[in-house]
Amino acid sequence: MSINSKLQSALAALKGAGAEFADIYFEIASSHSYSFDDGTFEEISSSNSEGVGARVLRKDGTAMAYAPGVLLSTAFDCLRKASGELGGVLPQGGGSPVRVMDREAPLPSPDFSFFPPLDRRIRNGSMWVKQVSMNLSTLAKSFTVFTSDGVLAGDRRKYTYFSVEVVVEKDGVIQTGYESEALALPSREAFASFSPQKTAERALSRALLMLDAPECPAGSMPVLLSGEAGGTMVHEACGHGLEADIIQKDYSVYRDRIGCRVASPLVTLVDDGSLPGFLGSSAWDDEGTPCGRTVLIEKGILKGYLTDITSARRGNLPLTGNGRRSSYRAVPQPRMTNTFIEPGTSSLEDMIRSMDRGLLVKKMGGGEVNPTSGDFVFQVTEGYLVEGGKIVSPVRGAVLTGNGPEALLSIEAVGSDLHFLPGMCGKGGQNVPVTDGQPSLLLRNIVVGGSGA
């Protein structure tokens, strides 16, 4: 029998013996990472890994076993261990010490010689610069997955990440500028698409702009999130609450709301893992389900959730191709891929002119969201006070406080622009690449916290 036939036969045997589902996931990955802080390299690391993870679903139980290496014998050992934990039996033998995936050429190391001169350039750009931190990483990952449903799928993914943080201080006031780039490309091609120098200069410019800005006034006011602000609101306040495992754990405000109005009629929210070249895209998810377009909210009406195999079977839901895992050591979870609000018809200029007094947000920072209630707190790293339909001045220290569903319902205009921001998303101890997209959004009323009350 061929290697593929042996694996498919073993999975079919488990299913015939009472398992509801089983899969075997093989992975080969390599990476390089560089961390530069305070004028010196803090860390330089490279890694290569190969491994296999076997998973068995039986009744309400899930068992998983993993081990390094991509040998057929290792896969059978993991499958026997996972099956045994749930009371299943898989005959001994069947696995020989042959490779299931071919070895790959080493991932080339990116050019990181620009770090010291770029650090000096940024420090020379202003006397107020106190610290410059930069990080660069590249990753290549290939996987092959076999399932008891007869699926054989796989893909190869490459990513490059670069980020820079600039801290400035003046008269006891400290501000931070942060910029990042992330592309689904190897480093040489990625550097042809973006400039680390321009990325660092944008971070410095934002930090200096906020350093001299007056403090943001506090109160309840209209808030205009520009498309450049990033999809933090979409991702954190909405996206995670629409992942089916969160729904089934009763941790989401969107539980039992299919068919109900959860947003303004102007809002259509989509997750699409098939967009070419996007960071969250792939031909298949990590369970062998084709990635595609899933409409989550259509004209304000909740239409569905993001699922993996486990949550789809538990809730009798359609598979959406969102079963993702950070490595062969991790159990798949329903995760976002490329999540965005579709563009509307309003221009940013018209939305600004419609504001009597409010806040224009050009860049969002970190924050916290309670998925059970939908309550959120987000920092604003670049904001502007708007009065009489005109931008008055930049303001610093703004914090947005509100509720995700209420914020979606309060959207009064959706811009014709649509900006995408790639990055990494964490959940359950796993990080996966994603892209968040958002056009400009005018929200009727948000509580803005600021020290300039």
The predicted model gives 151-175 an average pLDDT of: 95
My answer on whether 102 and 238 are in the same domain is no
**Is the pLDDT score of 10 beyond 80?**
yes
| Amino acid 447: pLDDT | 94
My answer on whether 264 and 179 are in the same domain is no
Q: Report the number of distinct structural domains present in the chain.
A: 2
| Amino acid 59: pLDDT | 83
**Is the pLDDT score of 453 beyond 70?**
no
| Amino acid 452: pLDDT | 52
Where a domain ends, among 211, 243, 260?
A: 211
**Is the pLDDT score of 223 beyond 90?**
yes
**Range from 91-105, 139-153, 187-201 carrying the lowest mean pLDDT:** 91-105
Please state, in angstroms and rounded to a whole number, the distance separating the CA atoms of residues 188 and 315: 44
| Amino acid 332: pLDDT | 97
Question: CB atoms < 10 A from the CB of 346, how many?
Answer: 20
The predicted model gives 406-413 an average pLDDT of: 94
| Amino acid 72: pLDDT | 95
Where a domain ends, among 211, 246, 273?
A: 211
List the CATH number of the domain containing 146.
Answer: 3.30.2290.10
What is the arrangement of strands in the sheet containing 269-272, beginning at the earlier edge strand?
A: 301-302, 293-298, 269-272, 338-341, 430-438, 419-427
My answer on whether 113 and 136 are in the same domain is yes
Give the range of the structural domain holding residue 233, as residue numbers without chain letter: 219-449
Task: Tally the C-alpha atoms within 13 A of residue 359's C-alpha that lie toward its C-beta.
Answer: 32
Element holding 232 (H helix, E strand)? helix 232-232
Alpha helices in 284-431 (DSSP H): 309-315, 348-353, 404-409
Helices 196-211 and 115-124 sit at what angle, rounded to 10 degrees?
30
When comparing pLDDT for 120 and 1, which is higher?
A: 120
**Is the pLDDT score of 451 beyond 50?**
yes
The predicted model gives 386-408 an average pLDDT of: 94
My answer on whether 250 and 177 are in the same domain is no
pLDDT over 70 percentage in the chain: 99
My answer on whether 73 and 150 are in the same domain is yes
My answer on whether 88 and 133 are in the same domain is yes
My answer on whether 201 and 227 are in the same domain is no
The predicted model gives 203-218 an average pLDDT of: 94
Written as six digits, the tokens of 11 are 């999975």
Contact 286, 29 (CB under 8 A): no
pLDDT (tens digit per residue) in 28-57? 999 999 999 989 999 999 999 999 999 999
The predicted model gives 146-155 an average pLDDT of: 95
Burial class of residue 301 in the structure, from the number of CB atoms within 10 Å of its CB (0-12 exposed, 13-18 middle, 19+ buried): middle
The predicted model gives 336-359 an average pLDDT of: 96
My answer on whether 151 and 279 are in the same domain is no
My answer on whether 244 and 380 are in the same domain is yes
Report residue 350's pLDDT band, with 50, 70 and 90 as the boundaries. Answer: very high
**Is the pLDDT score of 431 beyond 80?**
yes
| Amino acid 237: pLDDT | 82
**Is the pLDDT score of 18 beyond 90?**
no
**Is the pLDDT score of 137 beyond 50?**
yes
Amino acid at 149: D
My answer on whether 82 and 202 are in the same domain is yes
The predicted model gives 363-378 an average pLDDT of: 86
Q: Is the dihedral of CA 186, 188, 194, 195 positive or negative?
A: positive
The predicted model gives 185-193 an average pLDDT of: 84
Report residue 91's pLDDT band, with 50, 70 and 90 as the boundaries. Answer: low
- Over its C-alpha atoms, the chain yields an Rg (Å, rounded) of 24
**Is the pLDDT score of 351 beyond 50?**
yes
The predicted model gives 141-162 an average pLDDT of: 95
Written as six digits, the tokens of 296 are 């989550």
**Range with top average pLDDT, 83-87, 186-190, 239-243:** 239-243
Where a domain ends, among 195, 211, 227?
A: 211
| Amino acid 372: pLDDT | 80
Find the Cα–Cα–Cα–Cα dihedral 428, 340, 225, 415, rounded to 10°. Answer: -170
Report residue 303's pLDDT band, with 50, 70 and 90 as the boundaries. Answer: very high
My answer on whether 62 and 144 are in the same domain is yes
My answer on whether 311 and 172 are in the same domain is no
The predicted model gives 241-249 an average pLDDT of: 94
